[in-house]
Structures are given as C-alpha cells and as structure tokens.
C-alpha cells in the first residue's frame, strides 16, 4: 500500500479490543455451556484462538457483531498439533489451558511464533504438576496435565502473558495455587484485564494491591455474556494520524477508564502538545505542532511503533525507554522502526533499553514492516504527512486491525493499492 500526503477528518468507531477478545474466548472455553461475546474483534490472532480452542472441543460461532462460544463436557484430546498462527497470546494461554487436561498435547505455530519465548511459563506449569517441555525455551511446546496446585514464582519482566496464562488455568487445578511475581511486573494492566474477565465469568482471584502475590482456589467458570470495549492499541494509530495530519478526527468507543495500558496514548499526545478533547467514550484531536519528549513503554510496549511515528513528526530529539522486550515481539520492533525511519531521513540512536529519535522533515520511502502489523500501521501514519510512503506486506495489519486500510480511507487518507 502507498499512503500519500493527505488530511484526515470525520468520525470513526475504534475496533474492538484484541486483548479482551482473547481473554473472553478463553474464559468462555473454560465454562461449561454457552457464552456470548458482543462486539468481539475478528482478526488473525483472535481467529487463531478460536481455531486452537476448536481443537480441544470448544466451538465458536462468529456472527455479525457476536461470537457464541460453546463447551459441552471435558476438553478433548486434539487429533494433531494445535497451531496458533502468529499469536503469542494464543500460544501461551492455550498451553496453560491444555495443562489442565490429562492429554498429551503439542502446541506450535508459524515460523515467527517459534521465536517467541515460553521458557518461564513451561517451568511454572511443570512446578505446578504438569509435564511440560519446549525446544530450548521456545515453541513447539509439549504439555500433559493436569496441574495439581502449589506455589510457583514467575518473573514479571519478560511477559505478563505468562502470569495471565497461569491465572486462567489456576481455578481448574486440584488444589489452590499461590503465584508470586519476581522482579517488577511489567504490563501490569494486562493482568488486571485478565482478572476482570475472570470475574465476569464467576472466578475470584485473591491478589495484593501491587499484583505481586496471587492465590486461586479451585472453582468453576460460569458461562457469561460480555461486551468487548474499543481497542486503545489500534485506535492509537488513528489518533496519531489525526495529530500529524488531521483537520478534526473523532474516535468513538474509547473508554477513558479502561484497564487497557495503551489508553496512555492520550496522555502521550497531550504531553506532546497535541490538541485533544476527551469525552466519556470518545477522543477528538487534530493536526498539532508536536513537541519532543521522553516516554517509557515498559507497561505499554505495543505503543512503541506509534510513539516512534509521533516522535519522528516532532522537531527535536525524543527518547523512548523500556524497549528491551520489544526485540522479541512479532518482529524486532526496535530494529524495524529504526530501519524504516532512517529510510525516511529520520536518525535514531539505540541502546539496550532506550531509543532516541531525532524528529524533523521526512521524505518518501518504501518500508518493509517485517510482517509486523504495528510497524505497518506506524509507517502508514507517517505517510500522511510525507510525499508518500509505500508499505510492503501491507496485509499483515490483519493480525490485529483487518479494516485498518479501509478505515483510514474513510477518514480521508489517500491510499493506493499497489
């Protein structure tokens, strides 16, 4: 896709939350009976979750604006390897769920997923009584339960998905599970989202205020009906596009009180002196002279690409901290963003946990997003204020935001399908 210099305007509803949709699908799968998800996100990753769950006997019927998830009886032994596509969330959560069964199950995925670490999750499930192995800490994973219970410690500075995975499976253990977090729990709000969804399905988890100690007793998930809120992670690209090249853009369906970590994009664009108006469920913003700043993405790593785009559009040097984990996402996001920005004339300087971006005038370029949806969307945003930017492998946005190219055109972006 080629994005040419253009101006955004109008209103658009944010797509549904990918993180909440994943969690709702898994909680539904752990409840006997039928659950209904209203306004779920249908994308490559959430379809990977529903497909993986279908392999163990959980049916998902995707409809217009709904998903009905039905489980009847015990979880099945799959006839073959459970494939998780490119979804790290699917991989980690389904591994923990399969650890609650007596079946010997292999879990794998596409080549990019085989680079995503699972070592600490495999170790934790093993300590809880499952037989769980992996290939030097990476998929494929072999797991056979059931988990028995007991105490386990997980590092909090690698992936919060390990913590969420164990919490999702813990109510189905034979005995209570005590989970402790070593180091600082990064991306804490994703664990809060898991606890919130578990509560909606009738599960109570005891946790201290700092979310470093959890206790989960054996209990049953109950079928539920839940509404999936708008996705701040995806909406961040629309808000960034508006601040870089918007007359006035109103994004609907965004809960300012959401537990989603990426709601902090609003604080970030305001710190960069963007003109933004907050509503109870919407944000309105427009083209602004952005100021450079210093940002920390330890708790909101998915915002890194869009923050890089904003910093590139701000004249002066910005610093982005907390980037260490971004080298093990769908791509090495630090390398991918630095490479693309340099092609556009923007200089960056990288250290182990920090990236400095020297914002300023950009020129046309062709950018390879390295099959990473958030990299592709970040450079699409920059194309709005540049002569043109061509993004190869543009369909990779389907991982989280399948309608992205259509939506930005609705707002007035000049996009050409090559």
Please tell me which of 64-68, 154-158, 348-352 the model is most confident about, judged by mean pLDDT.
64-68
Nearest to residue 298, comparing CAs of 124, 156, 155, 168? 156
Q: Is the pLDDT of residue 167 over 70?
A: yes
Does 299 qualify as catalytic in the annotation?
no
The residue among 255 and 329 whose pLDDT is bigger is 255
Using one digit for the tens of pLDDT, what is the confidence trace for 367-400?
A: 999 999 999 999 999 999 999 999 999 999 999 9
Specify the pLDDT at position 391: 97
Task: Give CA–CA dist 4/13, Å, rounded.
Answer: 23
Let me know: does 122 contact 193? Beta carbons within 8 Å.
no
Confidence of residue 144 (pLDDT cuts 50, 70, 90): very high
Using one digit for the tens of pLDDT, what is the confidence trace for 282-311?
A: 999 999 999 999 999 988 999 999 999 999
Nearest to residue 166, comparing CAs of 150, 189, 186? 150
Confidence of residue 196 (pLDDT cuts 50, 70, 90): very high
State both tokens at 102: 């007596």
Task: Give CA–CA dist 170/172, Å, rounded.
Answer: 5
Task: Give CA–CA dist 118/255, Å, rounded.
Answer: 32
Domain with CATH 3.65.10.10 in the chain: 2-15+229-416, 18-224
Task: Give CA–CA dist 234/238, Å, rounded.
Answer: 7
Specify the pLDDT at position 93: 98
Specify the pLDDT at position 328: 62
Specify the pLDDT at position 218: 98
Coil, strand or helix: which one is 101?
A: coil
Confidence of residue 315 (pLDDT cuts 50, 70, 90): very high
Q: Is the pLDDT of residue 418 over 90?
A: no
Using one digit for the tens of pLDDT, what is the confidence trace for 269-279?
A: 999 999 899 88
CATH 3.40.50.1860 correct for 2-15+229-416: no
Using one digit for the tens of pLDDT, what is the confidence trace for 173-190?
A: 999 999 999 988 888 999
Q: Is the pLDDT of residue 42 over 90?
A: yes
The residue among 325 and 353 whose pLDDT is bigger is 353
Give percent of the chain above pLDDT 70: 99
Q: Is the pLDDT of residue 92 over 90?
A: yes
Specify the pLDDT at position 94: 98
Confidence of residue 324 (pLDDT cuts 50, 70, 90): confident
Nearest to residue 376, comparing CAs of 11, 44, 146, 74? 44
Task: Give CA–CA dist 84/87, Å, rounded.
Answer: 6
Among the ranges given (132-141, 152-161, 169-178), the one the predictor scored with the smallest mean pLDDT: 152-161
Which residue carries 């959401």 as its tokens? 258
Rounded to 10°, the helix 160-169/188-200 angle is 20
Q: Is the pLDDT of residue 20 over 80?
A: yes
Specify the pLDDT at position 157: 84
Specify the pLDDT at position 261: 92
Task: Give CA–CA dist 359/344, Å, rounded.
Answer: 11
Q: Which of 200, 302, 372, 407 is catalytic?
A: 302
Let me know: does 192 contact 211? Beta carbons within 8 Å.
yes
- For the segment 214-239, the average pLDDT, to the nearest whole number, is 98
Among the ranges given (8-22, 55-69, 162-176, 331-345), the one the predictor scored with the smallest mean pLDDT: 331-345
Specify the pLDDT at position 111: 93
Specify the pLDDT at position 352: 83
CATH 3.40.50.2000 correct for 18-224: no
């Amino acid at each position: 896709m080629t994005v040419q210099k253009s101006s955004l305007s109008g209103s658009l509803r944010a797509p549904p939350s990918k993180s909440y949709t994943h969690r709702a699908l898994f909680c539904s799968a752990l409840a006997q009976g039928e659950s209904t998800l209203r306004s779920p996100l249908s994308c490559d990753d959430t379809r990977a979750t529903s497909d993986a769950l279908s392999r163990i006997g959980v049916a998902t019927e995707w409809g217009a604006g709904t998903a009905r998830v039905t489980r009847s009886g015990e979880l099945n032994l799959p006839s073959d390897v459970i494939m998780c596509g490119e979804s790290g969330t699917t991989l980690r959560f389904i591994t923990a769920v399969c650890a609650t069964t007596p079946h010997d199950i292999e879990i794998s995925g596409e080549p990019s997923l085989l680079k995503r670490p699972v070592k600490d999750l495999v170790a934790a499930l093993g300590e809880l009584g499952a037989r769980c192995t992996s290939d030097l800490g990476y998929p494929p994973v072999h797991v056979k339960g059931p988990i028995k219970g007991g105490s386990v410690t997980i590092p909090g500075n690698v992936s919060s998905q390990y913590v969420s995975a164990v919490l999702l499976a813990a109510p189905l253990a034979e005995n209570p599970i005590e989970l402790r977090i070593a180091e600082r729990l990064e991306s804490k709000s994703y664990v809060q989202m898991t606890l919130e969804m578990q509560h909606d399905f009738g599960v109570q988890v005891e946790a201290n205020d700092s979310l470093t100690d959890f206790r989960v007793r054996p209990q049953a998930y109950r079928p539920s009906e839940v509404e999936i809120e708008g996705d701040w992670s995806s909406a961040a690209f629309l808000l960034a596009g508006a601040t870089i090249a918007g007359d006035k853009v109103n994004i609907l369906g965004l809960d300012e009180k959401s537990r989603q970590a990426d709601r902090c994009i609003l604080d970030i664009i305001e710190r960069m002196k963007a003109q933004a108006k907050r509503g109870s469920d919407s944000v309105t913003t427009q083209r602004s002279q952005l100021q450079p700043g210093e940002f920390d993405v330890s708790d909101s790593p998915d915002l890194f690409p869009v923050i890089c785009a904003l910093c590139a559009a701000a004249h002066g040097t910005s610093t982005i901290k907390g980037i260490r984990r971004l080298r093990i996402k769908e791509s090495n996001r630090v390398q991918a963003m630095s490479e693309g920005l340099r092609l556009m004339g923007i200089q960056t300087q990288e250290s182990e946990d920090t990236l400095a971006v020297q914002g300023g005038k950009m020129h046309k370029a062709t950018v390879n997003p390295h099959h990473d949806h958030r990299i592709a969307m970040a450079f699409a945003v920059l194309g709005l204020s540049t002569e043109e930017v061509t993004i190869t492998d543009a369909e990779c946005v389907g991982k989280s935001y399948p309608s992205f190219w259509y939506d930005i055109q609705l707002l007035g972006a000049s996009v050409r399908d090559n």
